[in-house]
Structure formats: structure tokens, C-alpha cells
């Protein structure tokens, strides 16, 4: 009887732990296509929208080049890190996953901690809104 109870508790613990891991990970694409904006894009306004949005969401801009921004999000004294590249041209912008630390990234399964896709969606929406606001002013 005691063996059955112990075995049942062990099975419950394993199932509980595996379901917790599943719920913290989410599927994602390493390249996130930005919202479609009116074309051709005004690159100066798009650069401003990207920079403003990154700073608004506490991303540190680590490098700026022709047609791209590299940025890093850091949380809990660098315990959690995410590095991205935002590339843009006259037609669109893309947010590209570069690397991360402690976000459970799994290259084979294309999964990462569920917060990362939310962060990227927030950047995407805010860049688009900021760009549209600039274009209308």
C-alpha cells in the first residue's frame, strides 16, 4: 500500500514538473516580421521609432549600423539576457533573435521562455505606432 502511494506521488510530481516546463516555454520564430507599414518607408522616421521604442522598453542599444540596430534586454543584474537585431529598409523591418541567457532557448524545438515572444510583440507594435504617429504629424 505504501509503495503504491509513494509511486503515485512520484508520478504526480513528474507530471507536475513537466507541465510547468511546458507552460513556461513558447514556440517562436527567430525572425519576427514587423507589422506592415505604408511603403515606401521614411527611414529617418523608422530609425526614430525603433530607437524610441527600444529605450521605452528598457532595451540597451549596443550597436547602430546602416539599416540595423543591435539591442540587449537585461533583467535581474544580467541573470536574464536577450540580444536582438532590428533590420530595416524602405519596405519593412524585422526583429531577429541573436542569443539569450536563462530564457530556455531550444534551437531544435524553436521554443523559448514565453516572455520573449511577448517582449518582441510589444516592440513590434510600439515601433509601428510610433512610426505612424510621426508620419501623421
Mind listing the domains of the chain with CATH numbers? 26-135 (3.30.310.80)
Mean pLDDT of the chain: 87
What would the grid cell of residue 56 be? Answer: 521605452
Residue 20's pLDDT band, with cuts at 50, 70 and 90, is very low
Residue 21's pLDDT band, with cuts at 50, 70 and 90, is very low
Amino acid at each position: 500500500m505504501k509503495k503504491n502511494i509513494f509511486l503515485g506521488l512520484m508520478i504526480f510530481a513528474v507530471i507536475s514538473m513537466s507541465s510547468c516546463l511546458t507552460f513556461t516555454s513558447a514556440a517562436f520564430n527567430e525572425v519576427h516580421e514587423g507589422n506592415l507599414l505604408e511603403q515606401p518607408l521614411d527611414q529617418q522616421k523608422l530609425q526614430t521609432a525603433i530607437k524610441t521604442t527600444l529605450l521605452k522598453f528598457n532595451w540597451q542599444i549596443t550597436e547602430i549600423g546602416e539599416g540595423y540596430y543591435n539591442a540587449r534586454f537585461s533583467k535581474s543584474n544580467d541573470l536574464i539576457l536577450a540580444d536582438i537585431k532590428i533590420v530595416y529598409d524602405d519596405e519593412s523591418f524585422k526583429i531577429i533573435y541573436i542569443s539569450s541567457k536563462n530564457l530556455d532557448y531550444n534551437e531544435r524545438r524553436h521554443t523559448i521562455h514565453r516572455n520573449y515572444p511577448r517582449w518582441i510583440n510589444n516592440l513590434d507594435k510600439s515601433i509601428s505606432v510610433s512610426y505612424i504617429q510621426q508620419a501623421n504629424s
